[in-house]
Amino acid sequence: MPIMGMSNFQVSEGPLTTAFHIPDALSATVLSIAVIGPDERRRSAVASALAQCREGQIQQFKTYPPSLDDVPQMLMRKFNVLIVDLDCDPEFALDLIESICAHGSAIVMVYSEQADPDLMVRCMRVGAREFLRMPLTPSTMAEALVRASARRPATHAPQKTEGALFVFLGSKGGSGVTTLACNFAVSLAQESRQSTLLIDLNHPFGDAAINLGIKAQYSTVDALQNSGRLDASFLLTLIVRHSTGLSVLAAPSEMTTFQASDEAIDRLLAAARQQFDYVVVDAGSRLDLEKTALFSESATVYLVTQIGIAELRNSNRMIGEFSHRGGPKLEVVINRYNPDSPGFAEEYVTKALTRPADWKVPNNYAAVRRMQNTATPLALEDSSLSRTIRQMARGVCGAPEIPEKKKMFALFR
């Protein structure tokens, strides 16, 4: 329940001094901040943390609004950031956050003495961008404000070019799609030095996060279940960063029966391409996604196959379907390639595919197993396998080809 009527919706305001410097790139950004919390102890602690990390006018609301109908009036003050106490009345606070997000572009944070994962997820789903756990340190607050400054819409900002989309699709389960997608994404992030996102849509058993040694709090399901308000800013709250600089939106860690609509997937891809220069998608063998933007004319699809009768037969059918209906640029990748495979001469493989393969990724079982056991990307080591994947990445970001290593001859044999 709201605590008081509108006449008692009290505001305490005053200038707060600074004793902590945020990065120079954002230091000129002045945010208008409101702290909303009936509990004076917690509200004062938040105000104190704010006082130590930036200068400016910060308003303290001593009560929740008496009604959600009062939210538009409150937002007329043009706050950039609203920080809401979650503990006094969690249910009303959640409704308040959702209403704030529905009526304006202000960034909402919550503060709480609780560490309830379900409550954190609910906050995220209604629009909160930060969950600040009490007791709150100035450094934690400063980091949250830096992120808020980065998310703040820039005035007259030039429109960003839509990021490039690369989709890894297997002709058959077990073709090594996840291994290639993960290492291609890592290589692309490192070779291009541009923002790169890996999205794991290989449901229900996507394991890109495991391959990269990442533990993700949120997943693609969290994004797709909230597609109605999915934008670039919301997407940033769901991703996790790998040590190589790659951003990852992981598949759910638990079994799920959730089925996303084509529209939800399209919104996810649109938000991702708005925020990132490169978007890489692990689509597993999911042909059920054929009507989504994954297979639009602006995408590049890497069809991953192997030298085997079933894989080549499926690849033949898929290449024929892509050729018949048009759509994305298609590149054929033969994974675990061994030129000495018995009974599969190169002419036979080319005939089966109806076209030459664009990429032949060498077979290196030991290296792949080592990556899976240590969560160290293949792209970080030097081998014929990693060089091929890096060359794939360099080809799309305009980097020069990797020179071939000269053969070394031993003095003694």
The predicted-structure confidence for 84-97, as pLDDT tens digits, reads as follows 999 999 999 999 99
Whether 213 shows a pLDDT value over 50: the answer reads: yes
Return the number of other C-beta atoms located less than 10 Å from residue 60's C-beta.
Answer: 22
Query: Structural domain boundaries of the chain?
Result: 6-151, 164-396
Percent of the chain with pLDDT over 90: 36
- Position 404 scores a pLDDT of 65
Q: What is the pLDDT of residues 367-405, one digit of tens each?
A: 888 887 887 888 788 888 889 999 999 999 887 776 665
Q: What is the CA radius of gyration of the chain?
A: 25
Could you list the beta-strand ranges (E) of 77-141. Answer: 81-85, 107-112, 130-133
Least confident among 77-81, 116-120, 294-298: 77-81
Average the pLDDT over 253-278 and give the result.
Answer: 89
Burial readout 154-172 (b: 16 or more C-beta within 10 A, e: otherwise): eeeeeeeeebbbbbbbbbb
Residue 2 has which token pair?
Answer: 């709201």
- 6-151 and 164-396: same fold? yes
- The highest-confidence range among 44-53, 177-186, 233-242, 312-321, by mean pLDDT, is 177-186
Q: How confident is the model at residue 17 (pLDDT cuts 50, 70, 90)?
A: very low
- Residue-level pLDDT at 164: 94
Q: How confident is the model at residue 30 (pLDDT cuts 50, 70, 90)?
A: low
Q: How many CA atoms lie within 13 A of 125 on its CB side?
A: 16
Average pLDDT over residues 337-361: 84
Report residue 358's pLDDT band, with 50, 70 and 90 as the boundaries: very high
In contact, 403 and 391? CB cutoff 8 Å: no
CATH code, 6-151: 3.40.50.2300
Q: What is the chain's mean pLDDT, rounded?
A: 82
Mean pLDDT of 105-110: 89
Scored b (16 or more CB within 10 A) or e, 26-55 reads: beebebebbbbbbeeebbebbbebbbbbbe
Q: Are 367 and 385 in contact (CB under 8 A)?
A: yes
Write the CATH number of the domain with boundaries 164-396: 3.40.50.300
Q: Report yes or no: 110 and 123 within 8 Å, Cβ to Cβ.
A: yes
Q: What's the pLDDT tens digit per position in 290-311?
A: 889 999 888 999 999 998 889 8
- What are the start-end ranges of the E strands in 93-192? 107-112, 130-133, 164-170
- Residue 193 clears pLDDT 50, i.e. is over it: yes
DSSP code per residue over 169-189: EESSTTS-HHHHHHHHHHHHH
